[in-house]
Structures are given as C-alpha cells and as structure tokens.
Amino acid sequence: MDSDVDIVVLTDQARYSAVEVWTGLLGGEVVRLAEWGPLREVRVRRPSGLVVEVGVAPVSWADTDPVDAGTRRIVGDGHRIVHDPAGVLARLSVACGS
C-alpha cells in the first residue's frame, strides 16, 4: 500500500482510453487523468486505497526505430512484460538495453 501499481496497455482500439473501462474493471474513483504524448494516463484509487495507474497508448508507442525518449525512460525504470504475443514489448526491451 506504500506504492502504486503501474500498467501500460498498448492497443489501437480507442475504447480502452475511456475512463469508464478502467473504473469498471478496477472499481474505485479516478484521481487523475493526464496525456503524455500518445500515452493517456488514467489513475484510479481502489476502495482499499491502492492506486492503479493505467497508461493506454497505441502500439506504435513501442516503436524501436528510434525509441522515443519518454518511452525509453519508462522502460528503463523497470518493467515486467505480462502479455506480448507479437513480441512488440520484447523488441522494445532489447532496444532499451533491458
């Protein structure tokens, strides 16, 4: 509970940028919305107090030629790939030296 959970979702389906998707899935209330270039941040505080930060970005966010400086910073801060059937994030990870 001393930290938040950060999730990046790469999708070209605009519906996942909707706040209602994440409040519906996670429960709780939105405590922050922000735009960071192509990434939309939806920060939700769950009833337990845990804050979940979901970043929704197009698949092109993970482009490696070249890697965007903001993307490189996020990947460099540490990450764990949960689902990557096309290997997009694996290639980004290698390009970032992770």
Residue 6, helix vs strand vs coil:
strand
Residue 4, helix vs strand vs coil:
coil
pLDDT in tens, 22-54: 999 999 999 999 999 899 999 999 999 999 999
Cα 92 to chain centroid distance, Å, stands at: 14
Query: Structurally, how many domains does the chain consist of?
Result: 1
The domain in which residue 19 lies consists of 5-95
Tell me the pTM: 0.85
